[in-house]
Structure 1
Amino acid sequence: MKILDRYILTTFLQTFLTVFVILFFIFILQTVWLFIAELAGKDLDLMLIGRFLLLSSPRMIPLVLPLSVLLASIMTFGNLAENYEFAAMKSSGISLQRAMKSLIVFICLLSIVAFFFANNVIPAAEYKFLNLRKDIVQTKPAMAIAEGQFSDIGEYNIKVNKKSGENGEKLEGITIHKKSVNGSGNNVVIKSKNGILINNEESSMLQMILYNGNYYENITPKKYEERNKVPFVKASFKKDIINIDLSQLNTGQDDGEIANTNTMLNVSELTYTLDSLHKNFDKEITSFSDNIYQRTGAANLSFNRTKEVIKNDSIVPDLEKLLTPAERSKVLEVASSNVLSSKYSIEQNKNELESKQKNINNHWLALYEKFVIAYACLLMFFIGAPLGAIIRKGGLGLPIVFAVLIFITFHFINTFGKKVAQENGIPAFLGSWMSSIILTPLAILLTHRATNDIGLINLDVILTPITKGFQKIFKKKNNTTHNV
């Protein structure tokens, strides 16, 4: 390695590591802030808290790494340009691309490492992080219920306004939604003024005792036309006991078990899972279509002429003439009931299919995201390095402003694209790569302008015509004054 390459690489690495540590510490503080309500006051030892934060930290890398590359690139090349080191290089016949050569090799290696990190380390950390939270819930069940928001625990969604007591076992303002067996919604709602949690660490059952509350349940009539009335049952109670099974929340730390969550799967596992999901999805659509077709009775229709419908060697034009008024009324009633039943079935299956399609989209997004983080490192470097050479400012002032604006734009477009892709508004590939596709032309433009020593914005194109216009106006005025 030549002295110049070693000098630029050393300067960049020092800046990159410093920025990475600072940003990583900031995101760690954000994690502490998010989970402080669950961790504080639960008699958890420092070792457990440290492990909790350690396992939650890998998920921050996809945010911290590209931002660190962007900021370090702007600062490094901004310092070199500000101190006229680039001018000295160019006078010696060294171009910007030649100066970036060692860093391009490093960023390529960093992108490869980022991909393997996202493919192997983050899924394993997510799996262990989830299991650690489940273990904590087993020993400290009150942690599973957060204040002011619904917490998914087994077959219940539980929300409490306030928790108190030594271990947060005393609850106030309790709202419980019981999940339906068929997944059609929450038909049972329980509201209670206060309650208490009782558990035994040797048992997987959590007992919740509720006081002074009401029980509500929506009743689904068998006849579809009566469902618009929305009947329900209401009951009051002084004391009620609910047993919650925590066995599903405590799967242990068995490394051989793979959780069915897209963030916990690597590329090969995601590919296998997606293949199974697509096959099941297509099979369900085919099965439902056949079911609806059979309901219509079209499969049983026969167009062969029979003796009963033949009259004077022609088919009877009006089938109603063969039926009495009572029979016609019965036929219309059955047909109307079948239509309403089919409509309700289609609506129910539509929601289920949309949910399954969303799950498939989430798996595709998780798959593409592992490649996006690798490309994001390259993209941010080719934005930051030319930008630093153009603005010719180092330090923590202007570079931070540019880095934050660019990264917020990247992150906003990325989040927007994934949200739209989750709802099946756009393909998952486009949703994951939208931010990269939009910012890639910016990286090409900045690299081109920095290579050709063109400023960030060529104001001469705008100012020159304006200046010439004013000069002509003032020249005409001067000529008029002299003539007078």
Structure 2
Amino acid sequence: MKKVHVLVLKAFIKPFIVTFFIVMFVLLMLFLFKYIDDLIGKGFEWYVILELLWYASAAQISMAMPLAMLLSSIMTFGNLGESYELVAIKAAGISLRKAMMPLIILVGFISISSFFFSDYILPITNLKMGSLLYDVRNKKADFLIKDGIFNSSIPGYSIRAQNKSKDGTILYNLIIYQHGNISRGTNVLLAKEGVMYNSRDNNYMILKLKDGVRYEETTAGDRSYNPRQQYTRYYFKQTEQKFDMSTFQMKRTDQELFSSHSMMLNLKQLKYYTDSTTRMLDSIRGRIFNEIKSNYKLFNTYQASHNKPLQNGKSTIHYKQSFEEIIPTDKRLMAINNSLTDTRYIKEVLEMKSKSDKDFGSTIIRYIIEYQKKFTLAASCLLLFSIGAPLGAIIRKGGLGLPVVMAIIFFLIYHIISTVAEKSAKEGNIDPVLGIWMAIIVLTPLGIFLTYKAATDSALFDIESYKLAVTKFFSKLKAFFNKKASKNGGAK
């Protein structure tokens, strides 16, 4: 028995590790393709890109783990079935359930570990990746001079070079326009050559200019013609121009600004934020009537004359049929204007409160969804293993051919159901708990069915068995019609 358990464990662990890293690599490539425009041309250091990929790889585990579990389980039992090792195990009197028991324990351990990962590590990873990705996307592209084209990326300057050296550090025939100077005049600098380099702290770019002239034209404070305006011209052999490049440096945002997002919270924090947001929502709903009740007016002044006693001694108030009969003529216009004012106020208050109610409700739904996601990762690993293991034992095909196709099909079904249901839950169309668990609820009967078929040695994907069943059905159908025809002939 122990040798069988070791055989099954060895057959599963290697494909699981290989498929996990393959899936992780594919997901990281998709992540890079998604944010490639935010990474190219900004001059990031290699460690910034590596840090971003590290956080992204940890965030992708929630998708890579179930897919690797499904694919590796299909490959494992497909290989065992193709090499007739499952047949040998069953011939030795060992049931499929007993042979899979250590593997079930291992998968259960992985599922529990994924739960703790999603509760303790994943929120921190999402926080660090979210803040870093925000800084990466908001960083300006590197300052780049193109031949013959003005560059206005540096605030207050427009720079053009007719051509440059191959390494881009020496610029020729420079024109520099300076805008927004205090004197509101024109400042133009021309130079035959300029050597470009950065300061030690990389906050400034320095241009060492040679053989040039600077033109400055100042006015008295307005842009109208002034005969007393000054015009100055400086010739120089060599000078330096310093440009502030601090806007091109990546500045790290405080991570506390993102810490209240639903993806950055663990179970305890999610429960706390859900309860506090729910209390705030209840408080807003409770204050609505108190804010608008003073705008509801009852015309008690004109009701006393319409009281009519009933036969049992009690009295009731009978209201006139028309609005004109209740309010005197000289006060109707004022009453209408006051009513319109009160109605507009009530409408504005209700619209404002409705928007706040919707925002708080959406926030609560996001917290509930993230709370349930902590559990669905572990449940999805167990579910996809319960689908993949019996499916591999049924199809009895190993390698990366049919198992990969079957794994992709079932994972796409799981992913589509999960995505559509989660989107519907976020929009408030269905209950958020039901939306998150929808894929697992739908596919659990399939896993039970496949497990039963694998335990009973059902030839679920055997084409010959289906051909035999169809042939048997048509033969029975033909015999039925022949019998019916013979009875009709005998009756005649």
Structure 2 length normalisation: TM-score? Answer: 0.70
Given candidates 380, 385, 401, the residue that maps to 1:381 is: 385
Which residue pairs with 2:91 in the alignment?
Answer: 91
1:34 Cα deviation after fit: 1.2
Q: Is the 8 A contact 1:41 1:166 kept in 2?
A: no
Q: Take 2:55 and 2:288, find their aligned partners in 1: how far apart are those partners?
A: 43
Q: 1:94 to 1:302 in 2, by over 3 A?
A: farther
Asked if residue 264 in structure 1 is aligned to residue 264 in structure 2, the reply is yes
Question: Match for 1:334: what amino acid?
Answer: N
Question: Match for 1:2: what amino acid?
Answer: K
Which residue pairs with 2:447 in the alignment?
Answer: 443
Which residue pairs with 1:454 in the alignment?
Answer: 458
Question: Match for 1:16: what amino acid?
Answer: F
1:120 Cα deviation after fit: 1.4
1:23 Cα deviation after fit: 0.7
Q: Take 1:39 and 1:472, find their aligned partners in 2: how far apart are those partners?
A: 72
Q: Take 2:292 and 2:3, find their aligned partners in 1: how far apart are those partners?
A: 75
SS of residue in 2 equivalent to 1:426: coil
Q: 1:462 to 1:344 in 2, by over 3 A?
A: farther
Which residue pairs with 2:253 in the alignment?
Answer: 251
Q: 1:468 to 1:303 in 2, by over 3 A?
A: farther
Question: Match for 2:433: what amino acid?
Answer: F
Which residue pairs with 2:244 in the alignment?
Answer: none
Q: Take 1:129 and 1:28, find their aligned partners in 2: how far apart are those partners?
A: 13
Q: Is the 8 A contact 2:39 2:137 kept in 1?
A: no
Q: 1:444 to 1:287 in 2, by over 3 A?
A: same
Q: Take 2:434 and 2:426, find their aligned partners in 1: how far apart are those partners?
A: 11
Q: Take 2:129 and 2:434, find their aligned partners in 1: how far apart are those partners?
A: 30
State the Cα deviation string for residues 102-136 of structure 1 (Å, max 9, x = none): 11000000001101111111110111112223444
Instruction: Write the mapping of 1:402-481 to structure 2, written as runs, cut at 5 A.
Output: 402-456=406-460, 459=466, 463-470=471-478
Q: 1:252 to 1:305 in 2, by over 3 A?
A: closer
Given candidates 332, 335, 338, the residue that maps to 1:331 is: 335
Q: Is the 8 A contact 2:70 2:388 kept in 1?
A: yes
Question: Match for 1:431: what amino acid?
Answer: G
Q: 1:250 to 1:325 in 2, by over 3 A?
A: farther
Which residue pairs with 2:398 in the alignment?
Answer: 394
State the Cα deviation string for residues 254-278 of structure 1 (Å, max 9, x = none): 7xx8711000000011011101011
Question: Match for 1:469: what amino acid?
Answer: L
1:311 Cα deviation after fit: 9.6
Instruction: Write the mapping of 1:4-19 to structure 2, written as runs, cut at 5 A.
Output: 4-19=4-19
Q: Is the 8 A contact 2:74 2:388 kept in 1?
A: yes
Q: Is the 8 A contact 2:284 2:353 kept in 1?
A: no
1:417 Cα deviation after fit: 0.9
State the Cα deviation string for residues 385-413 of structure 1 (Å, max 9, x = none): 00111111111111111111111111111
Percentage of matched positions with identical amino acids = 32
1:474 Cα deviation after fit: 7.7
Which residue pairs with 1:208 in the alignment?
Answer: none
Question: Match for 1:465: what amino acid?
Answer: F
Q: 1:166 to 1:120 in 2, by over 3 A?
A: farther
Question: Match for 1:128: what amino acid?
Answer: K
Q: 1:165 to 1:46 in 2, by over 3 A?
A: farther
Question: Match for 2:361: what amino acid?
Answer: Q
Instruction: Write the mapping of 1:181-192 to structure 2, written as runs, cut at 5 A.
Output: none
Q: Take 2:271 and 2:348, find their aligned partners in 1: how far apart are those partners?
A: 34
Q: Take 2:96 and 2:318, find their aligned partners in 1: how far apart are those partners?
A: 88
1:82 Cα deviation after fit: 1.1
Q: Is the 8 A contact 1:382 1:444 kept in 2?
A: yes
1:322 Cα deviation after fit: 5.8
SS of residue in 1 equivalent to 2:282: helix
Q: 1:316 to 1:71 in 2, by over 3 A?
A: closer
Q: Is the 8 A contact 1:20 1:65 kept in 2?
A: yes
Q: Take 1:130 and 1:411, find their aligned partners in 2: how far apart are those partners?
A: 23
SS of residue in 2 equivalent to 1:100: helix
Asked if residue 363 in structure 1 is aligned to residue 363 in structure 2, the reply is no
Which residue pairs with 1:112 in the alignment?
Answer: 112
Which residue pairs with 1:67 in the alignment?
Answer: 67
1:39 Cα deviation after fit: 0.9
Q: Is the 8 A contact 2:303 2:319 kept in 1?
A: no
1:423 Cα deviation after fit: 1.2
Number of residue-to-residue matches in the alignment: 384
Q: Take 1:475 and 1:328, find their aligned partners in 2: how far apart are those partners?
A: 93
Q: Take 1:439 and 1:168, find their aligned partners in 2: how far apart are those partners?
A: 57
Q: Take 1:32 and 1:305, find their aligned partners in 2: how far apart are those partners?
A: 75
Q: Take 1:264 and 1:430, find their aligned partners in 2: how far apart are those partners?
A: 22
State the Cα deviation string for residues 40-74 of structure 1 (Å, max 9, x = none): 11111111110111112222111110000001001
Question: Match for 2:364: what amino acid?
Answer: I
1:24 Cα deviation after fit: 0.5
Which residue pairs with 2:42 in the alignment?
Answer: 42
1:434 Cα deviation after fit: 0.3
Q: 1:21 to 1:472 in 2, by over 3 A?
A: same
Bigger Cα displacement from structure 2, 107-116 vs 349-358: 349-358
1:330 Cα deviation after fit: 2.4
Which residue pairs with 1:353 in the alignment?
Answer: 357
Question: Match for 2:452: what amino acid?
Answer: H
Q: Is the 8 A contact 1:142 1:169 kept in 2?
A: no
Q: 1:19 to 1:294 in 2, by over 3 A?
A: same
SS of residue in 2 equivalent to 1:42: coil
1:292 Cα deviation after fit: 3.1
Which residue pairs with 1:148 in the alignment?
Answer: none
Q: Take 2:355 and 2:484, find their aligned partners in 1: how far apart are those partners?
A: 74
Q: Take 2:154 and 2:392, find their aligned partners in 1: how far apart are those partners?
A: 52
Q: Is the 8 A contact 1:135 1:252 kept in 2?
A: no
Unaligned runs of 5+ in 1: 144-163, 171-195, 203-244, 479-484
Q: Take 1:118 and 1:316, find their aligned partners in 2: how far apart are those partners?
A: 66
Q: 1:461 to 1:361 in 2, by over 3 A?
A: farther
Q: Is the 8 A contact 1:365 1:429 kept in 2?
A: yes
Q: Take 1:375 and 1:446, find their aligned partners in 2: how far apart are those partners?
A: 17
Bigger Cα displacement from structure 2, 96-105 vs 328-337: 328-337
Bigger Cα displacement from structure 2, 289-298 vs 346-355: 289-298
Q: 1:343 to 1:379 in 2, by over 3 A?
A: same
Q: Is the 8 A contact 1:42 1:167 kept in 2?
A: no
Question: Match for 1:430: what amino acid?
Answer: L
